[in-house]
Amino acid sequence: MAVELPFEKPLVELRLKIEELKRFTEERGIDMSEEVATLEAKSKALSESIYRDLQPWQKVQIARHPERPTTLDYIRDLCVDFVELHGDRNFRDDPAIVGGIGRFDGYPITVIGTQKGRDTKENLYRNFGMAHPEGYRKALRLMKQAEKFRRPVLCFIDTAGAYPGTGGEERGQGEAIARNLIEMAELTVPIVCIVTGEGGSGGALGLAIGDHLMMLEHAWYSVISPESAASILWKDASQAQRAADSMKITAQDLLRFGIVDEILPEPLGGAQRAPAEMIETVRMAVKRAFAQLRTLDTETLLAARYQKYRVIGAWTEDAGTIYEVPQAATTTASLDAEPTAASDTQELDDLAYVARKTTED
């Protein structure tokens, strides 16, 4: 049974009505096909309008949909001869991160990703896709192995974050992620990363340093989950929706900021509606990315990777020492207002300014 999200309710009602009409047609032998056709057209239009203008918080709900394809679903369809490899050689095998070797588009590659479960039982086993240090260390082991055998690396990211527990702290959750960042910065084989659902904080970043970063259309990626941000900033987790709006967490925002390189369109309603179609889109995108990256020599590859991260940020070096509070920004009411085209252009201008600043240096 499909899991429906709150904002999909009008669609569900419409679908039930259509089904009722169809049943009526069958049972009573009265031809209602015209009415059915009208309603179906209406349903199509409605779903298009709903999914075209999704709010950030609605996207978060789609990104967390339990029926979305998981990392292993992608791997099974994308790779032939896939062999899963286990363990970090230090402590244990973390089921929240999976990895291995497979053949993609004719070439052997190393695939790594966070793994969520489909049901409660599997989620408990997978720790809801929230990894421990040994998970990140397993990932690094497989990356170094890929480097040795000159295999490119493909990473799938779908995690609310690294697991905040006592064991993780004792075994150096911070150190494990930090190590991955600095090692991935200089890994001498191409790395392609895809945020397929949730990109939660350092736990996501620990697998997401690469040469080509993609996000699925409804995925989110930020420094913290909207719920946690709301509870820290406003001491109120129920303000998650507000936090989701303020933090600019959608794939579209991140493309605009120049942080992701490509957005992969999802089937109407989300990846969970047509997994096969989604996986095919991913296949074509990964193929393109690897084909392009394969042409680069190591030095060019690493220089481009350096530059990719080097330019991210927004700062100023204008004269003056104290931040002047702009008139508009002193009121918080701007949050409720519709974003205007003007403010968007301003933001883009600012970013262009930042990019200029960096190239000038």
Partner 1 sequence: MLKDLFPQKKRKYATITPHPSARERVPEGIVDKCKGCGEIILALELEKHAKTCPRCGYHFSLGAMERVGYTLDEGSFVELFGQVRSTDPLSFPEYPGKLQKAQQLTGLTEGVVTGYGTIEGQPVAIGVMDGRFIMGSMGSAVGEKLTRIAEYATEQRMPLVYFTVSGGARMQEAIFSLMQMAKVSVALARHNREGLLYVAVLTHPTTGGVTASFAMQGDLNIAEPGAMIGFAGPGVIEKTIRQKLPEGFQTAEFVMEHGMLDGVVHRKEMRNYLGRILSLHREGGEPDGRRTAL
Only one residue has tokens 């003056």, namely 320
Residue 326 structure tokens: 């702009």
Q: How far from 195 is each of 42, 171, 227, 306, CA to CA, in Å?
A: 33, 26, 19, 20
Dist CA 151 CA 321 (whole Å): 49
Closest CA to 218 of 242, 249, 239: 249
Considering the complex, state which of residue 6 and residue 315 has its C-beta at the smaller distance from partner 1: 315
Considering the complex, state which of residue 79 and residue 293 has its C-beta at the smaller distance from partner 1: 293
Considering the complex, state which of residue 106 and residue 320 has its C-beta at the smaller distance from partner 1: 320
Interface residue list for partner 1 (CB under 8 A): 162-166, 168-175, 177-179, 181-183, 185-186, 201-202, 205-206, 209, 221-224, 228-229, 232-233, 246-249, 253-254, 257, 259, 305-306, 309-310, 312-319, 321-326, 329-330, 332, 334-335, 343, 347, 350-351
Instruction: Quote the least distance from Cβ 262 to partner 1, whole Å.
Output: 16
Residue 10 structure tokens: 């009008």
Instruction: Quote the least distance from Cβ 60 to partner 1, whole Å.
Output: 14
Instruction: Quote the least distance from Cβ 105 to partner 1, whole Å.
Output: 28
Considering the complex, state which of residue 64 and residue 248 has its C-beta at the smaller distance from partner 1: 248
Classified as helix, coil or strand, 186 is: coil
What are the beta bridge partners of residue 220?
198, 250
Instruction: Quote the least distance from Cβ 54 to partner 1, whole Å.
Output: 18
Considering the complex, state which of residue 73 and residue 158 has its C-beta at the smaller distance from partner 1: 158
Residue 333 structure tokens: 């009411």
Instruction: Quote the least distance from Cβ 174 to partner 1, whole Å.
Output: 3
Dist CA 78 CA 92 (whole Å): 27
